[in-house]
Amino acid sequence: MPPINVRWLSALFAVLLSAPALANEVQVAVAANFTAPMKLIAADFEKDTGHKAVLTFGATGKFYAQITNGAPFEVFLAADDETPAKLEKEGAAVNGSRFTYATGKLVLWSAQPGVVDAQGEVLKKGDFKKIAIAAPKLAPYGAAAVETITKLGLQAALEAKLVQGESIGQAFSFVSTGNAELGFIALSQVYEGGKIKSGSAWIVPESLHSPIRQDAVLLAKAKDNKAAMQLMEFLKTEKARAVIRSFGYEP
């Protein structure tokens, strides 16, 4: 039998001890507006912990229906604070786990330069055929858009021009493909490097709609899933918060 290499064994044990124990997966339902930042956060989370966050993106209202009907999600990153609170109250989420991971901003955007002015006066001029919003009953950003239009006194003038997407992702798709000349979307969808990356936009003043506080909550199915718990804590780290800020959110 060849002699045992003690130095090699010591090195092997050191590697094994430093490796994440029992790497696991966590199923995460993510509001569509948070798609880009969450992909980056999930990659950092896996690199730092060894756990994999499996992401599904969609409308908050639709996720609520799926979760209450037994969908296997373990962490929910909503586009509002009401839906996670409701799930907590109904026993579908772990009490005390809920927190605000980001505060979103609404923006009126066109894929074409020069269409949307810096004060949003294009809405009053009405020189367009279609304006996209997310379905207000399913998506908080859609509700904020309706609230903005109402406060501006433009609901009657714009009603016939509104086209609704199931989620803010679909509303963005309508505008980016030219099926609507402009639309109300999440700032994070068009924000990069501290500025609007394409087209033309008006960041809607927060006085025109209720705050878009986005809450995360640990779902009841994950009460014993350490990976899910670690993801909730990772969202509070400065590394995650830096990513959140980079997309125009307030963490």
Q: How far apart are CA 114 and CA 181, in angstroms?
A: 11
Give the number of C-alpha atoms closer than 13 A to the C-alpha of residue 126, restricted to the C-beta side.
Answer: 11
Residue 223 contacts residue 20 (beta carbons within 8 Å): no
Residue 100 contacts residue 218 (beta carbons within 8 Å): no
Cα distances from 134 to residues 147, 174, 209, in angstroms, run 12, 10, 15
Question: What Rg value do the Cα atoms of the chain yield, rounded?
Answer: 22
Domains of the chain, first to last: 23-103+213-246 (3.40.190.10), 105-208 (3.40.190.10)
Q: What percent of the chain has pLDDT over 90?
A: 87
Residue 193 pLDDT: 79
Residue 223 pLDDT: 84
Torsion of CA 58, 59, 65, 71, to 10 degrees: 20
Mean pLDDT per 10-residue segment, the chain (251 residues): 47 41 85 96 97 96 96 97 97 97 97 96 95 94 97 96 95 97 96 90 96 97 93 98 94 83
Q: How far apart are CA 215 and CA 81, in angstroms?
A: 5
Q: How far apart are CA 86 and CA 50, in angstroms?
A: 32
Residue 251 pLDDT: 83
Residue 133 contacts residue 166 (beta carbons within 8 Å): no
Residue 22 pLDDT: 57
